[in-house]
């Protein structure tokens, strides 16, 4: 079952611009994670935001969480060609007690130099 849905499916921007990706989910969660995947590689954890947090920063990344709207956004500021990758949101499955995650289909970001 699909919990998180990213939007847009694909995003193409120029280097230096900001990139914003959105994730919507269906059920109540206690945290939401964002992962990055370079083409043909494994996923890398970027950031986790808890349900009692509204915003979190990590370097050029800013994540927001709106539990009332069941949505999250990932902002990458001053993007670089090296940011080209797919970005996935992941939410806990079934209350999160077993640590299993449900991944969305991802947003494919292309940053042109």
Partner 1 sequence: DGGITQSPKYLFRKEGQNVTLSCEQNLNHDAMYWYRQDPGQGLRLIYYSQIVNDFQKGDIAEGYSVSREKKESFPLTVTSAQKNPTAFYLCASRRSVAYNEQFFGPGTRLTVL
Binding partner 1 (rule: CB under 8 A), the pick from 15, 22, 24, 48 is 48
Quick check: 56 binds partner 1 (CB under 8 A)? no
Beta partners for residue 12, in sequence order: 110
**Nearer CB in complex with partner 1: 52/98:** 98
SS3 category, 73: strand
With 0-12 / 13-18 / 19 or more C-beta atoms within 10 angstroms meaning exposed / middle / buried, residue 4 is buried
Stretch that binds partner 1, among 17-25, 59-67, 73-81, 90-98 (CB under 8 A): 90-98
Binding residues (CB under 8 A) for partner 1: these are: 1-2, 9, 31, 33, 35, 40-45, 48, 88, 90, 92, 96-101, 103-106
């Amino acid at each position: 079952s699909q919990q998180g849905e990213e939007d847009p499916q694909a995003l193409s921007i120029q280097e230096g611009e900001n990139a914003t990706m959105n994730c919507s989910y269906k059920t109540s969660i206690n945290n939401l994670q964002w992962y990055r995947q370079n083409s043909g590689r494994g996923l890398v954890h970027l950031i986790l935001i808890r349900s009692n947090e509204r915003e979190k920063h990590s370097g050029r990344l800013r994540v927001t969480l709106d539990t009332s709207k069941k949505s999250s956004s990932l902002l990458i500021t001053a993007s670089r060609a090296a940011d080209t990758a797919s970005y996935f949101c992941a939410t806990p499955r079934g209350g999160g007690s077993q640590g299993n995650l449900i991944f969305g289909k991802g947003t494919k970001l292309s940053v042109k130099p």
